[in-house]
Amino acid sequence: MSNHLNFFIDGKWVAPVVPATLDVIDPSAEEAYTKISVGSKADVDRAVAAAKAAFPAFSQTSKAERLKLLKRILEVYNERYEDIAQAVSQEMGAPITWARQAQAWAGRAHMEAAIKALEDYEFSEKRGTTMVVKEPIGVCALITPWNWPLNQIVCKVAPAIAAGCTVVLKPSEIAPISGIVFSEVMAAAGTPNGVYNMVNGTGPDVGQVMAGHPDVDMVSFTGSTRAGIIVAKTAAETVKRVAQELGGKSPNIVLADADFEKAVRKGVNACFGNSGQSCDAPTRMLVPAARHDEALVIAKKAAEAHKVGDPRSEDTRLGPVVSKIQFDKIQRLIEAGIAEGATLVTGGPGRPEHLNRGYYVRPTVFGHVTPGMTIEKEEIFGPVLSVISYDDDDDAVKIANDTVYGLAAYVQSGDIDHARKVAGRLRAGQVSINYPEWDTFAPFGGYKQSGNGREYADWAIHDFLEIKGIVGYGA
């Protein structure tokens, strides 16, 4: 039986207090394929009350008990792996291969990382005669986005539970079905009543209510900087902790000593992954001025190799973007790039010629983009790459750091010492050298308007803990 019209509160699937529904759109068809219930303050109150009631007992569980629970959740997650991949593919248009290998995989990888981090985590430390104790912060409101549903759900839920917190999750109402499947995983794993709760709904009607709720001790939010500011302002009224992972406009510096063809080609692929819908996508490629036109030839070929089409096809590389709102925003920004004088290398406005429906965007590369252009400054969140010239390392670093964001940055070089020096000068929470594998144990989070706090593994567990000093403990 489908739980699409239910919420998960206090260990049970329940209907909303006030019935209201929202269509879930398949972006490849531009048609609704199911409905979800959307909540209200009354549903948030029920979920928070359940989490608050469960906290005293759960916060006192042993590390061994919480490890046992997380391992059981991982076991059930793996049993439902294909269901999760299929849900992500349909709700956000992710190609099914990508949904399996990246989207569903990310949830599993974060659960594994949280388990390993908890196994090694010490919750107390003696300093002289003082015992420093790390305790769960309390009831946590978790608000997650549509672009990496399982990545963001699991890298919040798993460390919160590892810390001994109880949670209320609001998945994105745009891509909510994978969150419902995840909630079924939590139920089947035997999560104690009230420890994990899930309410679907909109940001204003559910997310903002959670952020301002007096019985919520912490908000962990991932989404746009605009929405993050609203969440922070709302939470400030009750002086609760707010951890945020927000927008980005990440630079990718291809240094003169890099393997140029490889660096540019892989940079295009990294930018276009997930149809460009990643907050840490390397959307600004910085290349030596003398090799700019060479970079455009490589980038054009790499972009045009991306097959755009039906996400159910095993060989599709780019599916649609998630919604009409997102599609229209991307079109506006592509038009702005053309109007402001950037060189359109490939792609451009409209759908690919072979597609007449669905929110499909043409893989687009702009060359001769200059600092200050709209496409250089604004987060596009689509398969659009801007190639920018620099004169020397100092110029590259200056351009890279000239942004309100600071989530991620990338450096490509054939000389690791050179790459490390440049990486050390970049104002970003995570810097990747030469396209490494995804590291779910590395801290992830941003400088500046990309947010605060850090996610992944033990870094995330830190954020869900309070610090208590018991002075005189050893006297």
Residue 152 parent element (H or E): helix 149-163
The owner of tokens 């490390």 is 420
Strands 124-127 and 451-452 turn out to be unpaired
Strands 408-412 and 31-37 turn out to be unpaired
Residue 282: phi, psi to the nearest 5?
A: -80, 80
* Residues β-bridged to residue 130: 127
Query: Helix (H, G, I), strand (E, B), or coil: what is residue 339?
Result: helix
245 is catalytic: yes
Q: Which tokens in the block code for residue 224? A: 């746009």
Cα→Cα distances 164→193, 230, 320, 384, 441, Å? 14, 27, 39, 41, 20
Annotated active-site residue in 279, 376, 379, 455: 279
279 is catalytic: yes
| Closest alpha carbon to 44 in 281, 271, 219, 258 | 219
Distance of CA 112 to the CA centre of its chain: 17
Annotated active-site residue in 245, 376, 379, 455: 245
Cα separation of 210 and 242, whole Å?
12
The owner of tokens 């759908």 is 351
Strands 21-26 and 31-37 turn out to be antiparallel
Residue 272 parent element (H or E): helix 260-272
CB 289 within 8 Å of CB 244: no
Cα separation of 351 and 343, whole Å?
19
Amino acid at 233: K
Residue 60: phi, psi to the nearest 5?
A: -95, 0
Cα→Cα distances 363→78, 282, 320, 331, 368, Å? 33, 14, 11, 12, 17
Cα separation of 26 and 90, whole Å?
6
CB 254 within 8 Å of CB 410: no
* 159 burial level (CB within 10 Å; 0-12, 13-18, 19+): buried
Radius of gyration of the chain (CA): 23
Residue 139: phi, psi to the nearest 5?
A: -85, 130
CB 42 within 8 Å of CB 213: no
Catalytic residues: 245, 279
